Structure 1
Amino acid sequence: MMAARRILPLAVPEIVSYPHISYAMSVLSLAPEGVDWVFSNYVQLCMLDHGSTVEMRYFIPNADLFHFPGLFGTQRISRDWILHYCPSFRDFVRYSIDKEFYVWTFVDEYYIPGTRSYRNQSLEHAIMIHGYDDDNREFHISGYMESQRYKQSTIPYDTVEQAFTEMQLPPIHFANNTHLLKRSPNAYEFKPDWIMEQLADYGGARPSDVRMEIFEERKECPYYWGIGVIDGLQEKLRQQLRGESFVDHRPFFILHEHKKTMNNRLAYMADKGHFEFSQEIRDGYKEIEAKAQTIFNLELKYLMTRDNRFLTQIIERLDGLKEAESRTIGQMMEQYDRDN
Structure 2
Amino acid sequence: MRKSLPFTKPLAYGQQYYAFPLGILASHPQANDWVLSNYLQVAYVTDPSIGIDFSFYLYDYSISPWLETLKLNRELANAQSGGVNGLVRTAISADFYVYLTLNERYVPERLRYDQGLDGLHDVLVRGVDDEADVFEILGYDRNQVFRSSTVPQDELAVAYHSVGRDPFFEVPLTLYRFNPRGTYELDLQFIRQSLIEYLESFNTSLHFRALRTPWDLVYGMATYEELEKYIDRYARREVEYDILNLHTLWEHKRLMLARLTRCAQSAPALAELVAPYQRVERLAWALRLTMMAHGDAPQKSFMNEAAPILHAVRDTERKLLTQAVGALDHSGGA
TM-score (norm 1): 0.86
**Residue 297 of structure 1 corresponds to which residue in structure 2?**
289
Higher mean C-alpha displacement, 45-54 vs 92-101: 45-54
CA distance, structure 1, for counterparts of residue 290 and residue 301 of structure 2? 10
**Residue 193 of structure 2 corresponds to which residue in structure 1?**
197
Confirm or deny that 1:251 pairs with 2:241.
no
CA distance, structure 2, for counterparts of residue 20 and residue 279 of structure 1? 32
In the alignment, residue 18 of structure 2 is paired with which amino acid?
Answer: I
In the alignment, residue 203 of structure 1 is paired with which amino acid?
Answer: L
CA distance, structure 2, for counterparts of residue 251 and residue 215 of structure 1? 28
Which of residues 56, 81, 93 is equivalent to 1:58?
56
Compute the displacement of 1:21 (Å).
0.8
CA distance, structure 1, for counterparts of residue 239 and residue 207 of structure 2? 32
**Residue 213 of structure 1 corresponds to which residue in structure 2?**
209
Confirm or deny that 1:42 pairs with 2:39.
yes
In the alignment, residue 103 of structure 2 is paired with which amino acid?
Answer: D
**Residue 313 of structure 1 corresponds to which residue in structure 2?**
305
In the alignment, residue 225 of structure 1 is paired with which amino acid?
Answer: Y
Confirm or deny that 1:338 pairs with 2:330.
yes
Compute the displacement of 1:321 (Å).
1.4
CA distance, structure 2, for counterparts of residue 215 and residue 292 of structure 1? 35
Secondary structure of 1:115's partner? coil
CA distance, structure 2, for counterparts of residue 176 and residue 206 of structure 1? 28
CA distance, structure 2, for counterparts of residue 31 and residue 100 of structure 1? 14
**Residue 15 of structure 2 corresponds to which residue in structure 1?**
18
In the alignment, residue 34 of structure 2 is paired with which amino acid?
Answer: W
Confirm or deny that 1:134 pairs with 2:130.
yes
1:46, 1:56 within 8 Å by CA — same for their partners in 2? yes
Q: 1:211 to 1:93 in 2, by over 3 A?
A: closer
CA distance, structure 2, for counterparts of residue 20 and residue 95 of structure 1? 22
In the alignment, residue 304 of structure 1 is paired with which amino acid?
Answer: D
Secondary structure of 1:148's partner? coil
1:101, 1:182 within 8 Å by CA — same for their partners in 2? yes
Secondary structure of 1:160's partner? helix
> Over residues 169-225 of structure 1, what are the superposed CA-to-partner deviations in whole Å (9 max), with x where a residue is unaligned?
1152334531112232231121012112111111222322233433663556xx322
**Residue 264 of structure 1 corresponds to which residue in structure 2?**
258
Identity %, equivalent residues: 21
Which of residues 176, 179, 190 is equivalent to 2:174?
179
The CA RMSD measured in Å over matched residues stands at 2.6
Secondary structure of 1:75's partner? strand
> Over residues 253-291 of structure 1, what are the superposed CA-to-partner deviations in whole Å (9 max), with x where a residue is unaligned?
100010011112223334xx3333555411111110111
Name the count of aligned residue pairs. Answer: 329
Gaps of 5+ in 2: none
Secondary structure of 2:182's partner? coil
Secondary structure of 2:54's partner? strand
Q: 1:191 to 1:211 in 2, by over 3 A?
A: same
In the alignment, residue 14 of structure 1 is paired with which amino acid?
Answer: L
CA distance, structure 1, for counterparts of residue 229 and residue 317 of structure 2? 19
Higher mean C-alpha displacement, 276-285 vs 36-45: 276-285
Higher mean C-alpha displacement, 114-123 vs 168-177: 168-177
Confirm or deny that 1:149 pairs with 2:141.
no
Compute the displacement of 1:135 (Å).
1.7
Gaps of 5+ in 1: none
CA distance, structure 1, for counterparts of residue 168 and residue 234 of structure 2? 31
Q: 1:339 to 1:299 in 2, by over 3 A?
A: same
TM-score (norm 2): 0.87
